[in-house]
Structure 1
Amino acid sequence: MRILMLALTATMLAGCAGSVMNDARTQTPYKVLNSDKAEKVVAQCVQFGWQDEAVFGVDAAAYVEPRNAGGTTVYTRSAESFVDVITDASGTTLNYYAQKDDFVAKRRLAALATCL
């Protein structure tokens, strides 16, 4: 029963994060960046950077999932920050979204920028 409850909770949270991300994608990204590196390499780098507990403390969780429209999304809990990493003709484009324009959003952006 506990496993079932845990799985149900995880599914509900993923659904909430998905709707938050879809709503955010209708707006202009917080920042758009470009890279010459491969999409998967950039996505893994961002995930690793966002999981740095020395920088983000105990809330240093980052998850990766494929986007329905192609590409990869790296996101934090509740999708407070997320980045769509998309391969296009000019290389790799990163659309970074943040729910708040605060210190944490700027730190996540800085960590993301090290992956370009």
Structure 2
Amino acid sequence: MRMLTVALAATLLAGCAGSVMEDARTRTPYKTLTSEKPGKDVAQCVQFSWQDEAVFGVDAAAYLEPGKQGGTTVYTRSAESFVDVVSGASGTTLKYYAQKDDFVAKRRLAALATCL
């Protein structure tokens, strides 16, 4: 029963994060970046850098999921920040979205930039 409750809670949270991400994607990204590295490598690097507790404290969680239009999406709890990483013929494009333009969003962008 306990596992069922945990699974249900995780599903509900993923659904909420998904709608937040879909809404954000209708607007201009906070920042668009490019890289010559493979998208998979960039996405894993972003996930790892966003999980640095020394930088982000106890809320240092980052998750990977397949992107809606290919590639990979890296996101934080409640999708406060997320990045769509898509590889193409001319390299990898990263579209970074943040719910708020605050210190944490800028810090996550700086961590992301180290992966380019």
With the shorter chain as reference, the TM-score category is: over 0.9
CA distance in 1 between counterparts of 2:72 and 2:107 reads 21
Runs of 4+ in 1 over 6 A off after TM superposition: none
Give me the CA root mean square deviation: 0.5
* 1:8-47 correspondence to structure 2 within 5 Å: 8-47=8-47
TM-score w.r.t. the length of structure 1 is 0.99
TM-score w.r.t. the length of structure 2 is 0.99
User: Identity of aligned pairs, percent?
Assistant: 81
1:82 alignment partner in structure 2:
82
Report the Cα offset of residue 90 of structure 1. 1.2
Report the Cα offset of residue 8 of structure 1. 0.1
Say yes or no: does 1:109 pair with 2:109: yes
Q: Secondary structure at the match of 2:97?
A: strand
* Count of residue correspondences: 116
CA distance in 1 between counterparts of 2:25 and 2:96 reads 10
Structure 2 residue runs of 5 or longer lacking an equivalent are: none
Whichever residue aligns with residue 80 of structure 1, its letter is E
CA distance in 2 between counterparts of 1:80 and 1:3 reads 26
Report the Cα offset of residue 89 of structure 1. 2.1
